Chains A and B, each alone.
Chain A
Amino acid sequence: MTQTDTTTAGSGGSGATGGSGRADGLLAPVPDEDGAPFFRYAARGELRVQSCADCGEPRFPPRPCCPHCQSFDSLWTKMSGRGRIWSYVLPHPPLLPGYAAQAPYNVILVELADAPRIRLVGNLVASADAALNSVPPERLRIGAPVKAAFHETDDGLTVVRWLLERP
């Protein structure tokens, strides 16, 4: 699967029109052309990362060409979905209302087991569809192993969330 495949998830690059209509008040991603495949694979329950079709280097965030060998051919490589917490924060208000309602919640940065230095921002939750504050803050720890879960948002996009390997 190459990056030039037509995508079904998300809108085009400059679209700032979507993403405001979720019933839970959270923001939906507005994927651009490069990022759309990530969300399309997530909708299938797959965590995939863009990588170079020529030299094989994974890269994030997605972009048109490889920073290592300058090739424009890319693949979306399936990851095991496992990683470790690289860091985390606990935001408190003032926040957008949908987030304030769940604050303090966690935001984590996950370093992927299969692709060191590829790190994804996400949330640690008790289950794929649970609230952003469903894991007690004292359970958060840098280095804790986590695995990907997939949550379909109110407006039909799927985001990657994270569960503790040892809940």
Chain B
Amino acid sequence: MKDATAIAGIGQTPFAKRLPESEKTLACRAILAALDDAGIAPSEVDAFASYTMEDTDEVEVAKAIGAGDVTFFSKVGYGGGGSCATVAHLAAAIATGQASVGVAWRSRKRGSGPRPWTNTRVQLPTPAQWTRPYGLLRPADEIGLLARRYMHEYGATRDHFFNVALACRNRANQNPAAIMYERPLTREMYMTARWISEPLCLFDNCLETDGALACVVVSAERARDCRHRPVYVHSAAQGLPAQVHGMVNYWNDDPLTGPSWTAARRLWKTADFGPQDIDVAQIYDAFTPLILLSLEGYGFCARGEGAAFTEGGALEIGGRLPLNTGGGGLSEAYVHGFNLITEGVRQLRGTSTAQVPGATTCLVTAGEGVPTSALLLRS
């Protein structure tokens, strides 16, 4: 598996609060752009992978883009936890000879589409019976509860959350494709912003976005003949920890060591390098506190040190671990984390709008708090 496959193409649509086209149309545009970026004909595609929450299914996509016979297809569960696993599934399929050209994608209209806490008046069955009636309605409320406990145990403050929000915003300010391009964030704006779920304010939350992204995975050998420098899938892992319970991971022994810890153990075990060798990181940022939990889970610092790690510009360009260099879910677009994968590819191609000089290794992670996945990419 190690470096046996590579991401050879990436594609995306514009990101906006509202796009006129359907999710299916956006998906096709992103996939065709990724294939064009790779220089591979749609008729060569024989594998598809996406999320279970993706409404555009592989049959419709394959028909629309003109794929040939498809010999592998896969869908990964748990919302944003699935992003990196889509690439991992394709890489495994290609490395084991089940397919040769794979497409992973995510198309989403969450900027203009329905949100469950404003439209759904119906209670959901398990596990919502234990949470929603009490007003724990939104992911922000669920993560806010973990964030409060984290602050209590380790002395983290809102300034630490701000460090995360600022790093993402600063990078988005350099990225013309980002929704928050040319919209700087200040500490005063952060500290006086309206609450969403105390201790989380507006700027601790990702941007609900319309948009689609895709990438093309092929064998390492094939990738060397494609249009761009190959970005190798060095290591991949999924993580579904013992006694995990979806977003509300409150019922295992230690809710502050979530799915990232499980994924990380396997990810590093199969890699030739460790956290100290990572040049740039794309860490799932649906909410700012998730970054602190992931910094610990993926081994960039010890338990309880995630907040302190963010100090002194560590997450900025030139810092210890440049983070979410396209702006991430907080400031570029929230498309279930798929933009973190494409930005990881840009960094290792040397074409990011916030390029880390000489970057050769990148960690990309999927949603923390849900069964998750992660990738180590290298050039």
Chain A interfacial positions (CB closer than 8 Å to B) = 13-20, 26-32, 34-35, 60-61, 67, 86-92, 94-96, 99, 102, 104-105, 107, 109, 117-123, 132, 137, 142, 153, 159
Contacts and interface: CB of A to CB of B under 8 A. Distances in A.
Given A89-B141, A94-B117, A159-B133, A28 B148 contact: no
Contacts, number: 133
Given A89-B144, A95-B117, A119 B198 contact: no
Given A35-B130, A61-B126, A92-B195, A99 B144 contact: no
A26 B251 contact: no
B125 A109 contact: no
21 contacts: A16-B123, A16-B124, A17-B122, A27-B132, A30-B124, A30-B125, A30-B129, A32-B126, A32-B129, A35-B129, A88-B148, A90-B195, A91-B136, A91-B141, A91-B197, A96-B120, A107-B141, A109-B145, A121-B130, A142-B152, A159-B133
B152 A87 contact: yes
B63 interface: no
Contacts of A17: 122
Contact of B123 (A20, A92, A107, A120): A20
Interface residues of B, number: 44
Contacts of A89: 136, 141, 144-145, 148, 197-200
B152 A121 contact: no
Given A89-B199, A90-B197, A117-B253, A61 B130 contact: yes
Interface string B220-247: 0000000000000000000000010100
Given A16-B124, A94-B117, A104 B251 contact: no
Given A90-B197, A90-B198, A105-B135, A13 B130 contact: no
Interface in B109-123: 115, 117-118, 120-123
A121 B134 contact: yes
Interface string B22-65: 00000000000000000000000000000000000000000000
Contacts of A104: 195, 198
B189 interface: no
B123 A30 contact: yes
B18 interface: no
Contacts of A26: 133, 135
A96 to B, nearest CB: 6
A64 B136 CA distance: 25
Nearest to A13: B125
A16 B129 CA distance: 11
B194 A92 contact: yes
Nearest to B149: A87
Contacts of B115: 94
B133 A28 contact: yes
B250 interface: yes
A107 B135 contact: yes
Contacts of B118: 94, 96
Contact of A109 (B129, B199, B250, B252): B250
